[in-house]
Structures are given as structure tokens and as C-alpha cells.
């Protein structure tokens, strides 16, 4: 049976400050392996992101290791990633927003990412439990809307994402069946030149915590 409303919520720079995570990682690599290693890892990370369409931290680390087979310091970097304090990087009131949305409809995490690090991030941050395990992770989520509909059918969807590109894609596919919500957090949200190519969202907020003050009517009427 279809729900009235399903809230689809992104993770990186929507619920969790992923820019801060990357900055911490780069600082760690510079401190343990040196600035040159940090720059090379950053180049590999961007290359992998361009090829795969999402940020694969562990995959980039493995590729870097193949160039530096003697670098035992990389073992500490993998531990840094796996044991990272993700819960400390949640935006203020992020989990409260998930609880609030659940009173208005069904709340589902819809994220891009790999099959190891991204689930761990979502679990260790507390997001997984906050939505009772309703988590979908794809390579390109905007290409998987039919799969989303099959798993979580709804009369109307609300997508909350820091990337206007994603919101614009969902609008073009689902049209009036979706309301798009744009939290202006993270570097993608503030890339004015890139965002100029996409339609504005139905609702924009400066921080995710503002959604605590939205009821269903205000969201859908946006």
C-alpha cells in the first residue's frame, strides 16, 4: 500500500558535514604521510569520483597504496576512516529533523556511495537507527527512481538534498509528484556557477534544523 508522503533524505552535507570529514582526512594524511602524499591522494580521490560518480575514500586509498607499496602509514589512515567519529559531524538537530519528518510521513535515507564506507558512515552516525534501517544507497540515485518507488511507494515524495543537480533531475522525472527541498549546506550548495544551470528548489533553507518548523502543509505548499 502506498504511503501518502515519503521523505527521501540525502546524507552527505545534508545531515552530516562531509566537507569537515574530508578536511579531517586530508589533515590526517598530511600529518602522517606528508603534504605531498595528501596532494596525491586528493588527486586520486577526485579521479575516482569523476569515474564512479561518488566519493570512494577506501578505493582511492587502495589505489594510492599501489603507488606506495612500502608506506605502512596507510594502515593508520584506513583505521582513521573506519573509526571516524561520524556522529560528531552531524549537523545540529539532524536526527531531530528525521524524527520530525517521521511524524509527517515515512522517512527514508537515499544516498550515493560505495557498499562499505557509506553504510558504515550512516550506521556509526546514528542515522541508520533513526530511520529504522530504511536506507537506500546507489551509485547514481537519480537513475534509480523506479527502484525507489518499488521499495517505498508513495502518492507524493519530498526529496531533501544539498545538490540542486539531484533535485532538478528528480523534478524532471517525477514532476508534480515530488517536492524538492534544498538545504544550503556544503560546497556543492554554494557553487553558484554550477547551480545556475538548474531550476531552483521548491523550498530552500539555510540549515537542516530549520525543517523542524515545517509541517506537511508548509513543505508541500512550497
CA dist., res. 18 & res. 15, Å (int): 9
Domain boundary among 52, 67, 86: 86
Please give the C-alpha separations between residue 220 and each of 6, 102, 103, 109, in angstroms, as whole numbers.
Answer: 12, 15, 15, 19
Q: What is the CATH number of the domain that holds 183?
A: 3.40.50.1000
Contact status, residue 121 vs residue 25, Cβ threshold 8 Å: no
Rounded Cα distance between 99 and 1, Å, is: 22
Domain that holds residue 178: 3-16+90-220
Residue 118, pLDDT score: 95
Separation between Cα atoms, residue 69 and residue 127, nearest integer Å: 36
Quote the pLDDT of residue 206: 96
- Tell whether 12 and 22 lie within a shared domain: no
Residues 119 and 170 in one domain: yes
| 38 and 136 in a common domain | no
| Residue 48 shares a structural domain with residue 148 | no
| Per-residue model confidence (pLDDT) at position 211 | 97
Closest CA to 167 of 9, 49, 1: 9
Q: What is the pLDDT at residue 154?
A: 96
Question: What pLDDT sits at residue 2?
Answer: 65
| Same domain, yes or no: 67 and 46 | yes
Same domain, 110 and 174: yes
Using the 3D structure, point to which of 55, 86, 117 is the last residue of a domain: 86
**Whether residue 162 sits in one domain with residue 106:** yes
- Residue-level pLDDT at 148: 98
Q: Structurally, how many domains does the chain consist of? A: 2
Q: According to the model, what pLDDT value does residue 73 have?
A: 73
Q: Are residues 7 and 58 in the same domain?
A: no
Residue 204 and residue 100 share a domain? yes
Sheet holding 3-9, edge to edge: 135-138, 106-112, 3-9, 154-160, 178-183, 203-205
Residues of the chain with pLDDT under 50: none
Within this chain, do residues 211 and 182 fall inside the same structural domain, yes or no?
A: yes
Single out the residue in 86, 105, 125 at which a domain terminates. Answer: 86
Are 61 and 103 found together in one domain? no
The CATH number covering residue 69 comes to 1.10.286.50
Q: What percent of the chain has pLDDT over 70?
A: 96
Q: Determine the pLDDT at residue 40.
A: 92
Instruction: Say whether both 133 and 75 belong to one domain.
Output: no
Question: In this structure, are residues 5 and 156 in contact, taking their beta carbons and an 8 Å threshold?
Answer: yes
Amino acid at each position: 500500500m502506498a504511503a501518502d508522503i515519503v521523505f527521501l533524505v540525502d546524507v552527505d552535507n545534508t545531515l552530516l558535514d562531509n566537507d569537515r570529514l574530508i578536511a579531517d582526512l586530508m589533515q590526517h594524511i598530511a600529518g602522517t604521510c606528508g603534504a605531498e602524499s595528501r596532494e596525491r591522494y586528493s588527486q586520486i580521490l577526485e579521479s575516482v569520483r569523476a569515474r564512479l560518480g561518488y566519493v570512494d575514500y577506501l578505493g582511492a586509498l587502495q589505489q594510492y597504496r599501489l603507488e606506495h607499496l612500502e608506506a605502512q602509514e596507510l594502515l593508520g589512515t584506513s583505521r582513521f576512516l573506519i573509526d571516524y567519529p561520524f556522529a560528531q559531524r552531524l549537523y545540529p538537530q539532524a536526527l531531530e529533523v528525521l524524527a520530525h519528518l517521521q511524524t509527517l510521513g515515512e522517512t527514508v535515507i537515499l544516498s550515493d556511495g560505495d557498499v562499505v564506507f557509506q553504510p558504515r558512515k550512516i550506521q556509526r552516525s546514528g542515522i541508520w537507527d533513526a530511520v529504522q534501517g530504511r536506507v537506500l544507497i546507489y551509485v547514481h540515485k537519480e537513475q534509480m527512481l523506479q527502484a525507489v518507488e518499488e521499495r517505498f511507494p508513495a502518492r507524493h515524495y519530498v526529496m531533501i538534498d544539498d545538490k540542486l543537480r539531484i533535485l532538478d533531475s528528480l523534478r524532471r522525472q517525477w514532476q508534480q509528484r515530488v517536492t524538492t527541498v534544498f538545504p544550503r549546506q556544503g560546497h556543492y550548495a554554494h557553487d553558484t556557477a554550477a547551480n545556475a544551470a538548474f531550476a531552483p528548489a521548491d523550498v530552500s533553507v539555510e540549515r537542516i534544523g530549520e525543517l523542524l518548523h515545517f509541517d506537511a502543509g508548509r513543505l508541500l505548499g512550497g
